[in-house]
Chain A
Amino acid sequence: MAANEYIIRQISVFSENRPGRLAAIAHALEEERVNIFAFSIAEASGFGVVRALVDHPARAHERLTKDGFNVAFTDVIAVRMRDEPGGLYEVARLLGEAGINIEYSYAYSGPDGAVLILRVDRPEAAIAAITAAGKELIPSSAFA
């Protein structure tokens, strides 16, 4: 499988820090029957970015844009972790040793175990390092 099979499109939504914006995003996605696997909110002074991993990124992008939101796709990768203490450390150390910088990460825990979502500066190198260490990456086909 080629490296880009593991590059997943995260939905990133620009949002002001004011009441109701997150609810509006969630409601729009619900109406589109888009399932949210995971999300995180990153905040600065007065504004933030809502990041979400969803099962139908294209549909989510279209609907949120139609609703007036400023939406972009961001490339991330997703690694299956051991759902026990030390699971996160293992992946972080692996990437650190390969000289790959983690810009941000968040995780979710599903029926198939815990998944770590990573935004890294060099996704191809990260995919190579993770695969070489025998860890399992979630293919992008799981999110389309």
Chain B
Amino acid sequence: MRPADLEALQLRRLRETLERVGNVPFYRELLAREGIRPGDIRTLDDVRKLPFTEKQDLRDGYPFGFFAVPRAQVVRIHTTSGTTGKPTVVGYTAGDLDHWSDLIARNMTMVGLTADDVFQNSVNYGMFTGGLGFHYGAEKIGMTTVPAGTGNTRRQIEMIDDFGVTALHCTPSYAMHLAEVAEEMGSDLPSLRVGMFGAEPWSDATRAELQDRLGVAAFDSYGLSELYGPGVAFECQEQDGLHIWHDSYLVEIVDPATGEPLGPGERGELVVTPLVKEAMPLIRYRTGDITMLLEDDCPCGRTRRVARFSGRVDDMLIIRGINVFPSQIEHVLMALPEVGDQFMVYVDRDEHHLDEMTIEVEIKRQFFSGELADLARLQAKIVRALRDALELRTHVRLVEPGSLPRFEGKARRVVDRRGCL
């Protein structure tokens, strides 16, 4: 598709989306208040005239306030886990499910999967969109699909070996756990060749380690339930940034503080207007995820990419006035060979009202020499590496291997205790 044709398609679908949101009282009132009519949108840049939609708006509409179709046309409901207050409900028409599984199928085709592959989906089924989303996408390709879910890791490894599973989808932290358990069980998972990991940010160092330990090519998968679920953005075989299907999503990057648009190469918050959603169309949805548009074209020839995600607007910690993303900490730790895969971050306020950040790390067994002095040297080395990257002095605690929590599903590595004095 030529760029001009794509833009014409996007504009037509943006206008259709504006018509559809007219069925949602929230948008009807919002657009009336702002004095915007569908006819005001003449170019794609005119999208900036439209107001943002925030996560809180969706919460306020609980349960069905954002449905743009009669409930009888909604064939499925998912919810997003609400860390505070009520969850957010997402509805799908039959057409939505078809679009969504089509997007996932495109992504899996992009990384070289076909009907010949055996696919194990090791994420939570149920209300989380990652389970059924990938499941139907894989079946659409005709892959042999194993709905493994999470938990019972030893059984998961047996299935990979017994069924000759070639492709795996799970969270990167669960993938790390699978690798650990497989090594304990003495299996090097010979059939696996493709890993698709998502639902939490992960670093290039984690990619290198997962590729090495699981024997896969590892691809980053991005999505969120409000925009169907996984499948919004996905890496191609270049493994350098994520492609977005621009026929289905209109993408902007904005400054999280001001909402002003940012250009390619400038890091900010991803804002998405889905272009084909029927049951729950949204306008300029603020994802809370931090990325940037990449300036150059991908060698694979597909449309414009975004950089790998580097944290959440609301995960951003402000420690003594310095912005810190947990992903930066992970990046530093994964570059140190002596340090294990897991870590925890604790933020406290000391008696002088100063912020203190403590990072717990496991040392890898083979790096324990038996000498206390070597451990102290390693501790100092980690403090130094963190200080260089974060421009912040931190406390580092070395803990016994295997003692930190392993996460299945979304990892919660940051505990901010500044509120609870």
Interface residues of A (CB under 8 A from B): 10, 12, 14-16, 42-49, 68-74, 103
- Please state if A12 and B400 are interface contacts (CB–CB under 8 Å): no
Q: Which residue of A lies closest to B399 (CB)?
A: A16
- Please state if B400 and A14 are interface contacts (CB–CB under 8 Å): yes
- Please state if B370 and A73 are interface contacts (CB–CB under 8 Å): yes
Cβ-defined partner of A74 (8 Å) among B370, B379, B398, B401: B370
Q: Which residue of B lies closest to A47 (CB)?
A: B398
- Please state if B371 and A14 are interface contacts (CB–CB under 8 Å): no
Q: Which residue of B lies closest to A44 (CB)?
A: B376
Interface residue? B163 (CB, 8 A): no
A129 to chain B, nearest CB (A): 22
> B363 — which chain A residues lie within 8 A by C-beta?
14, 70
- Please state if B372 and A46 are interface contacts (CB–CB under 8 Å): no
Interface residue? B62 (CB, 8 A): no
- Please state if A49 and B370 are interface contacts (CB–CB under 8 Å): yes
A4 to chain B, nearest CB (A): 18
Q: How far is the CA of A95 from the CA of B378 in the complex (A)?
A: 29
Q: How far is the CA of A47 from the CA of B395 in the complex (A)?
A: 13
Subset of 14 A-B contacts with CB under 8 Å: A12-B368, A12-B370, A14-B375, A16-B398, A46-B397, A46-B398, A47-B397, A49-B370, A68-B401, A70-B365, A70-B368, A71-B368, A74-B370, A103-B371
Indicate the member of B370, B379, B401 with the most A CB atoms within 10 Å: B370
* Further pairs besides A49-B372, A68-B402: 15, Cβ < 8 Å: A10-B370, A12-B370, A14-B368, A16-B399, A42-B372, A45-B379, A45-B397, A47-B398, A47-B399, A48-B372, A49-B370, A49-B375, A72-B368, A73-B370, A74-B369
A67 to chain B, nearest CB (A): 10
Interface residue? B403 (CB, 8 A): yes
Q: How many residues of B contact A (CB 8 A)?
A: 18
B319 to chain A, nearest CB (A): 20
Interface residues of B (CB under 8 A from A): 363, 365, 368-373, 375-376, 379, 397-403
> B370 — which chain A residues lie within 8 A by C-beta?
10, 12, 49, 72-74
Q: Which residue of A lies closest to B402 (CB)?
A: A68
Cβ-defined partner of B401 (8 Å) among A44, A45, A70: A70
Q: How far is the CA of A74 from the CA of B398 in the complex (A)?
A: 20
Report the 7 A-B pairs with minimum CB-CB distance, sorted nearest first: A12-B370, A72-B370, A74-B370, A42-B372, A49-B372, A46-B397, A70-B368
Interface of A (DSSP majority class): strand
B364 to chain A, nearest CB (A): 9
> B365 — which chain A residues lie within 8 A by C-beta?
70
Contacts A14-B363, A44-B376, A44-B379; A74 near B400 (Cβ below 8 A): no
- Please state if B400 and A15 are interface contacts (CB–CB under 8 Å): yes
Q: How far is the CA of A71 from the CA of B371 in the complex (A)?
A: 11
Indicate the member of A10, A15, A45, A47 with the most B CB atoms within 10 Å: A47
A71 to chain B, nearest CB (A): 8
B165 to chain A, nearest CB (A): 29
Q: How far is the CA of A43 from the CA of B379 in the complex (A)?
A: 13
Contacts A16-B403, A68-B401, A70-B363; A47 near B375 (Cβ below 8 A): yes
B16 to chain A, nearest CB (A): 58
> A14 — which chain B residues lie within 8 A by C-beta?
363, 368, 375, 398, 400
Q: How far is the CA of A8 from the CA of B372 in the complex (A)?
A: 19
- Please state if A44 and B368 are interface contacts (CB–CB under 8 Å): no
Q: How far is the CA of A70 from the CA of B398 in the complex (A)?
A: 12
- Please state if A70 and B400 are interface contacts (CB–CB under 8 Å): yes
- Please state if B372 and A69 are interface contacts (CB–CB under 8 Å): no
Q: How far is the CA of A45 from the CA of B358 in the complex (A)?
A: 13
> B401 — which chain A residues lie within 8 A by C-beta?
68, 70
> A68 — which chain B residues lie within 8 A by C-beta?
400-402
Q: How far is the CA of A100 from the CA of B400 in the complex (A)?
A: 32
- Please state if B403 and A44 are interface contacts (CB–CB under 8 Å): no
